[in-house]
Structure 1
Amino acid sequence: MKFLTKLFKRNSSWDLPKISIVIPCFNAEKEILATLKSIQDSHYQNVDVMVIDDGSEQRAEHFVQSFNDPRFRYFYKENEGPGLTRNFGIDNALGEYIFFLDSDDLIYPDALSNLMDYALAHQLDCVSGVTVRRDINTGVEGEWFRRLYQTKKVNLLVNRLALYDDTLTTNKLYRVEALKQHDIYFETGLYEDKLFTAKLYSKLDRIGLIDNRVYIWLVYGNQTSITTSKSLSNFQERMVAIEKLWQYIPEVRKAYQIAFYMNHDLLIYLREFVFYPQAVKDEIYETAKEFIQKHYHYVYPRLVPASFNRACLDALCEGDKDKFIYTADILSQVFQDEQKTKQRI
């Protein structure tokens, strides 16, 4: 099949629908240069680039202006967080479609073309592609839930189960009117992506999945990204988001969601457990216990195969604090030892 965007390009790339690229920016004036350059290198030219400065102390306006690109628009607003900043982008987009890009990440040159090709070919309100996590220091790459993106296909609501694992909003092209029509907006707080994608998956009947790499998520380290921070406050914010998204998850998914919680949401904190003071360990236990016991009838232990992780789940179900903390400490120490070994190799 010939790609639609290539066919359009024979006349003019401007014949294609306009895509608004929304870039929330907060004190990221240096990183945003590479981000904007990746947009200029894009094969897809009909874009409306919205750099929305979310109350930065060091404004990025002069960096945006340095590109001298009439497609780039700069906004400055009071600090509200990335979610509400993206909402500002939805409400002020000039494009028929919208794409969210973080100010310290990149897109592949053919990303927007590949997403739009599939959206137009199948008349879709949303198309999602492969995200690559790249360590900025080592260059090591890994693909985010590649198993969901083995082939190009249209995912239907009636068989939507595994797709909930992909909680990213930045690897997707959306039709703006569909977001407005279904009231799919971001909410306040951290981990707003989890709730946004849960709404998206529960409200759109057809979502396109393509096997192309579209997004480069640059990992800078523990202190520069909300998603890699392991503090108690971030754990609590994550729990708030998880509780909110529960209403959007279909019943058939909820057993898997508990497993995802143990295998991902909670696990990233358990891996750091040996570094926490006792009070933080106690708080993590109490919060996780309340969540697991509240949704106990969805617990299916066989979905959590790892031995130490499974033992932690058993302890939460039993309400055994000593067992949980003892096992979590072992899990954490084993993980930290493995990381040290990898660094020496």
Structure 2
Amino acid sequence: MMTRISVILPVFNGEKYIKKAIESVLDQSLADFELIVVNDGSTDNTLKIVNSFDDERIIVIDQTNQGPGQARNNALKLASGEYVMYLDSDDWFCSDALEVAYSETKGNDTDISIFQIIKYFDGEYGQNDWFNLNNFNESFENRVFNPHECGDFLFDISVSACQKIFNRKFLCEIKAKFPKGIYFEDMPFFFYTFLKAERVSIIKRHLYVRRKHSGSITESVDSKFLDTVPAGQILMDIFIENEWYDAYKYDLIAFKINGPRYALMGIEEKYKEKLYLLIKKDYESIKSTRYYEDYLENLGPIKRKFFTDILKSDDYESFKTLYQTKS
């Protein structure tokens, strides 16, 4: 009989929080699962902590550092569960997360079901619209829907892979993979799998706790944010290759511009020039495509000015002077 759920847990130097993450899976009310822990080249005591657990449901992959996306891909190849859930090494599941998620997705035969996340910081829990799925109004509750019904707010849906339960057969059929070697790997993966799905549902229950701390990827705008550029390029390719571009181009282009734009404004000073050059190279390549006019015609004034000022300038300092000048 097939295992109900494969939980995929990649970890890199996670000795501080990995024990709680693993325990949150082992203590689930649903016991029929496998937990695939990928030690992605940790140099601390992570592997020792992982190996201290004596439970036949735990499968350990010990690999050289390949990044979170490839760690998840490698685990998915080994997964045998009917469904797949993802867990980050500094977070944890609520005690009935697997049972509730499995009951929803199995009962409704969905490709993907999305649940709520609650945030945890310094001993306190908090909620926000993004993780609470507040963009889904009441008409989406207690039913199965097609993802294209979400066109008006597609780019306002949380992209976190950890907020979803996936049918593994569905993931295999569409050859779903996370991008290799970059951060923000959830973003292209989400849009590809979500728009490939035919049956989706939401679960208005907090099943997952996301720990916020200074080491979290999205909490400090450092060199990781250089990857907002390649992540956006991969996303654009996905929409073009799957013929979704025309239906979503207005919001898609704005979304693609906004990631690197916010990153450039907030990234540490020592990375600004490097990020600027990555953005400029991307925008220069767009100029030679049929999509260039769409950027000029569909972007709002702020994002269009950012796009054109990058193209007009030669370095970050000259861009900054241009961008601070009113058009």
Normalised by the length of structure 2, the TM-score is: 0.79
Residue 207 of structure 2 corresponds to residue 214 of structure 1: yes
- CA separation of 1:297/1:138 partners in 2, compared to 1, >3 Å: closer, same or farther? farther
Matching residue's letter, 2:23: K
Query: Aligned equivalents of 2:148 and 2:255: distance in 1?
Result: 20
Alignment of 1:250-289 (within 5 A): 250=244, 251-263=246-258, 265-272=259-266, 275=269, 279-280=273-274, 282-283=276-277, 286-287=280-281, 289=283
Residue 190 of structure 2 corresponds to residue 197 of structure 1: yes
Match of 1:43 in 2: 29
Aligned partners of 2:2 and 2:82 also within 8 Å: no
Q: What's the RMSD between the two structures over aligned residues?
A: 3.3
Match of 1:10 in 2: none
- Aligned-residue offset at 1:21: 0.7
Match of 1:11 in 2: none
Alignment of 1:176-191 (within 5 A): 176-190=168-182, 191=184
**1:142-191 CA distance string (max 9 Å, x none):** 35353334434433144342334432111111121211111112231212
**1:181-214 CA distance string (max 9 Å, x none):** 1111223121221221122023222222222222
Residue 302 of structure 2 corresponds to residue 311 of structure 1: yes
Q: How many residues align?
A: 307
- Aligned-residue offset at 1:131: 2.6
- CA separation of 1:138/1:298 partners in 2, compared to 1, >3 Å: closer, same or farther? farther
Runs of 4+ aligned structure 1 residues displaced above 6 Å come to 300-303, 327-330
3-state DSSP of counterpart to 1:226: coil
Match of 2:167 in 1: 175
- Aligned-residue offset at 1:44: 2.0
Structure 1, unaligned runs of 5 or more? 1-14, 305-309, 331-345
Matching residue's letter, 1:205: E
Normalised by the length of structure 1, the TM-score is: 0.75
3-state DSSP of counterpart to 1:240: helix
- Aligned-residue offset at 1:81: 1.4
Residue 154 of structure 2 corresponds to residue 163 of structure 1: yes
Match of 1:248 in 2: 238
Deviates more, 1:19-28 or 1:39-48: 39-48
Alignment of 1:1-345 (within 5 A): 18-136=4-122, 140-145=126-131, 146-150=133-137, 151-161=141-151, 162-164=153-155, 165-190=157-182, 191-221=184-214, 224-231=215-222, 233-249=223-239, 250=244, 251-263=246-258, 265-272=259-266, 275=269, 279-280=273-274, 282-283=276-277, 286-287=280-281, 289-290=283-284, 295-299=291-295, 310-311=301-302, 313-317=304-308, 319-321=311-313, 325-326=320-321
- Aligned-residue offset at 1:289: 4.6
- Aligned-residue offset at 1:55: 1.8
Query: Aligned equivalents of 1:273 and 1:243: distance in 2?
Result: 19
Matching residue's letter, 1:60: T
Identical aligned residues as a percent: 23
- Aligned-residue offset at 1:235: 3.7
Matching residue's letter, 1:171: Q
3-state DSSP of counterpart to 1:147: coil
Query: Aligned equivalents of 2:15 and 2:164: distance in 1?
Result: 24
Query: Aligned equivalents of 1:147 and 1:25: distance in 2?
Result: 30
Aligned partners of 1:50 and 1:74 also within 8 Å: yes
Aligned partners of 1:55 and 1:77 also within 8 Å: yes
Query: Aligned equivalents of 1:219 and 1:227: distance in 2?
Result: 9
- CA separation of 1:90/1:281 partners in 2, compared to 1, >3 Å: closer, same or farther? closer
3-state DSSP of counterpart to 1:104: coil
- CA separation of 1:73/1:137 partners in 2, compared to 1, >3 Å: closer, same or farther? same
